[in-house]
Amino acid sequence: MIAPTLIDWFFIIQKLILIVIIVLITLGLALYTTFAERKIAAILQDRIGPNRAGLFGLLQPLADGIKMISKEEIIPDHANKKLFVFGPALAMIAALMTSAVIPWSSDIIIGGKHIVLQIADVNIGILYVFAVVSIGVYGIMIGGWASNNKFSLLSALRAASQAISYELAMGMSLISVLLLAGTLRLSELVHQQQQTHWNIVYQPLGFLIFFICAMAECNRAPFDLAEAENELNFGYHQEYSSMKLGFYLFAEYINLIMSSAIIATIYFGGYDTPFLSPTAFSINTMALIGVITLLVKIFIFVFIFMWIRWTLPRFRYDQLMRLGWKTLLPLSLLNMIVTALFILLSH
Amino acid sequence: MATSLFWLFSALAIFAAVMVVTSRLAIYSILWLVVLFFTISGHYILMNAQFLAIVNIIVYAGAIMVLFLFVVMLMNVNDPNDNKKSIGLAIFGGLATILFLLSILNIVFNAQHTTKEINDLATTSTGDIGLVQNLGMELFKNYVLPFEICGVLFLSAIIGAVTLGKR
């Protein structure tokens, strides 16, 4: 048991600063992901996209934010007021919580002290991510129910059943990686990939399943059944206005970035720069290169997510369920068995 | 710090449990139950049982309570004045609760009696049996037969659910 005087204040302050920095960077990235989404959509549809606010429209996200905040806040008469406010907050919290276990880069040294660029290097890193993903459903369900609108409720139920269905295949594809790595610690996973090959070499099918499931968990097209405008008017956030709507929309982009970061960490070596030895430069320089590498990998996946969204049409609900339960789940089970057999025979 | 966290989690757990029972809206009860699961996971982490803590959240808070939410939302049981419960149910329910409480209290008092020399309320941050590696080794070495039988039990439950669902 730790006596109050023995608490390592340096450790706590260091982690607090790290949390603030990571949350701020994530929010900033999410802000510009919305801009990227609009620009990429425009390019793919042969349009120009937002170009009025600032140079090349670069101030557009700020303009959007100001618009969101200054809109009138409306809480419907028949809504459950407490839960109506609680829903978007929960969505936002769950979206940001994932960032706690992602290893952003190798250690840095400031004033002779090692600082780990990861908020919490827990023993159960991957399971933690999984738990946060499964909690993320609550924000949508509570918001959809509290709105007291039939469309919102239907949309919330769709979103939740979709999330639950795809969580299974996601977990199964992860098990294959865990079998190979023998650890649940994300930093350890990155170290292993630095020393040998990236996990994508061993787990191409697992990666594909994980990627599709991540897309479904983020509620993005072609899996955006919960926001099917032509069936449900708008979605679970139909009754929301002002910044509460902003929170829901923003949480989706944070989820997008976090999914990309998790995919990069698990299958593409995290902050490992290809063709560069981890000891090529001084420790602090390597850490900086690591952060940039991870960010580049995240951007690539965010782009692929958007590319898919603006290319493929939406699934029908029965197609969605069939894909999840009858294609992805058996495939991930097969992948797991083959991986297990491979490990058994190679030992 | 571990002791103060223990008291915080305990107080929160009891408060959440009381709220589960006394809330008039079924949705509130469910959400307070989720809070309760989180506090229990906090206790697990204090005891270094990280795997148990996270699985508790994934399975109970993340899956089972979502299904509860589904049912409550679809059945639309949100009328707080819907209190038509029979007296017989209340009497037998109360009786069962008191009996259960007595048996739990029995365990609590006996436990205090046997661990008097340790003189500690709860052992926190000690032992590493809850870590994934050790737990896995235990399950697949010493307890492999019960573990596999549990697996078969779950499989039969799944098959039963599918057959009932197809009917």
Q: Are residues B93 and B116 in the same domain?
A: yes
The predicted model gives A226-254 an average pLDDT of: 83
Q: Are residues B67 and B110 in the same domain?
A: yes
Better pLDDT: A8 or A32 = A32
The enclosing domain of B54 has a CATH number of 1.20.120.1200
CB pairs under 8 A between A and B: 69
What is the number of structural domains in chain B? 2
Distance CA(A261)–CA(A277), nearest Å, equals: 22
Cβ within 8 Å, pair B27-A83: yes
Residues 8-47 in A contacting B (C-alpha not used; CB under 8 Å): none
The predicted model gives B46-51 an average pLDDT of: 82
- Cα A266 to the center of its chain, rounded Å: 13
Q: Are residues B156 and B109 in the same domain?
A: no
Q: Are residues B101 and B70 in the same domain?
A: yes
Q: Is A78 on the interface with B (CB under 8 A)?
A: no
Q: Is B137 on the interface with A (CB under 8 A)?
A: no
Distance CA(A262)–CA(A268), nearest Å, equals: 9
Domain of B139 in residue numbering reads as: 132-167
In tens, the pLDDT along A92-107 reads: 999 898 888 888 888 8
Among A128, A145, A160, the residue with its CB nearest the CB of B54 is A128
In tens, the pLDDT along A43-74 reads: 888 888 888 887 888 888 888 888 888 988 88
pTM, 2 dp: 0.86
Q: Is B23 on the interface with A (CB under 8 A)?
A: no
Q: Is the pLDDT of residue A135 over 70?
A: yes
In tens, the pLDDT along A264-297 reads: 999 988 888 887 777 777 888 888 888 898 999 9
Q: Are residues B124 and B142 in the same domain?
A: no
Q: Are residues B107 and B25 in the same domain?
A: yes
Better pLDDT: A115 or B113 = A115
Q: Is B155 on the interface with A (CB under 8 A)?
A: no
Q: Is A153 on the interface with B (CB under 8 A)?
A: yes
In the block, residue with structure tokens 């897309």: A215
pLDDT tier at A148, thresholds 50, 70, 90: confident
Q: Are residues B55 and B17 in the same domain?
A: yes
Look over chain B and give the mean of its residue pLDDT values, rounded to a whole number: 82
CA distance B126 to chain A (A): 9
Residues of chain A neighbouring B27 (CB-CB closer than 8 A): 80, 83, 145
The predicted model gives A323-339 an average pLDDT of: 91
The predicted model gives B22-44 an average pLDDT of: 89
Q: Is the pLDDT of residue B75 over 70?
A: yes
Q: What is the pLDDT of residue A296?
A: 92
CA-to-CA dists, residue A116 to A106, A160, A305, angstroms: 7, 36, 30
Q: Are residues B49 and B127 in the same domain?
A: yes
Q: What is the pLDDT of residue A2?
A: 44
Q: What is the pLDDT of residue A136?
A: 85
Q: What is the pLDDT of residue B34?
A: 92
Distance CA(A319)–CA(A308), nearest Å, equals: 17
Q: Are residues B116 and B143 in the same domain?
A: no
Question: Is the bond leading into A222 cis (omega within 30 degrees of zero)?
Answer: yes
Distance CA(A262)–CA(A277), nearest Å, equals: 23
Q: Are B56 and B37 in contact (CB under 8 A)?
A: yes
pLDDT tier at B32, thresholds 50, 70, 90: very high
Look over chain A and give the mean of its residue pLDDT values, rounded to a whole number: 85
CA distance A159 to chain B (A): 11
Per-residue burial over B139-154, b if 16 or more Cβ lie within 10 Å, else e, is: eeeeeeeeeeeeeeee
